[in-house]
A and B are shown apart, each in its own frame.
Chain A
């Protein structure tokens, strides 16, 4: 079983608030990812990181930002939440090899009112 954690699991928040979604893994994985998923739809990559101090934007345009100061921690921040940000956010990590399996956290379901 993969050791990757996300908090909070559920968040309901008002428009304009700043929020940070937490993601931590204890597997020592170099690569970490954030995906966004609307209900019943496919996942879309919004951010990824090769390792400490590395962050890249994914294919899906996102108003969020990420940081990678420690290997195990990859938080995602929305400076000003909007109803269009309502979605599920899934964090994942994988090891150094390209063939390594990507393991997912349990997800954060965000609702912006």
Chain B
């Protein structure tokens, strides 16, 4: 069985600073995929970044990067140059091969960006 753990219920960061949101996972699969999603107060889930277990490079998408440490089973999201619009819930998720590639989600981290 898979498990996604996000240990930071809430985080604060000042505008223009970088912030790291933690995610650890547990799986017995050799091949797996990790995702990060952003959920603003409006409720929609916005895809941010994807990392495959066999990808040699850490994924990057604009201001988002993923610090993937396979041996430690961690996939932390780094947001550089935070903006006020980054305030939201952030969810780490893993693809579940046994459920049609559905996503198993962590409990999320609430990020607040302050001026």
Contact = CB atoms under 8 A, between A and B. Distances in A.
A59 B103 CA distance: 11
Given A43-B103, A48-B99, A99 B108 contact: no
B68 interface: no
Interface residues of A, number: 30
Assign chain B's interface to a size class. 20 to 34
A67 B95 CA distance: 23
Contacts of A92: 45, 103
Contacts, number: 71
Interface of B: 33, 35, 37, 42-47, 50, 52, 89, 91, 95-97, 99-108, 110
Contact of B99 (A56, A100, A104, A106): A56
Contacts of B107: 41-42
Interface string A1-36: 010000000000000000000000000000101000
B45 A59 contact: no
Nearest to B97: A98
21 contacts: A40-B89, A41-B107, A42-B91, A42-B105, A42-B106, A42-B107, A43-B103, A45-B103, A45-B104, A59-B99, A90-B45, A92-B45, A101-B50, A102-B35, A102-B47, A102-B103, A103-B47, A104-B44, A104-B45, A105-B44, A109-B43
A58 interface: yes
Interface of A: 2, 31, 33, 40-45, 48-50, 56, 58-59, 88, 90, 92, 94, 98-107, 109
Contacts of B89: 40
Nearest to A109: B43
Contacts of A59: 99
Contacts of A88: 43
B47 A106 contact: no
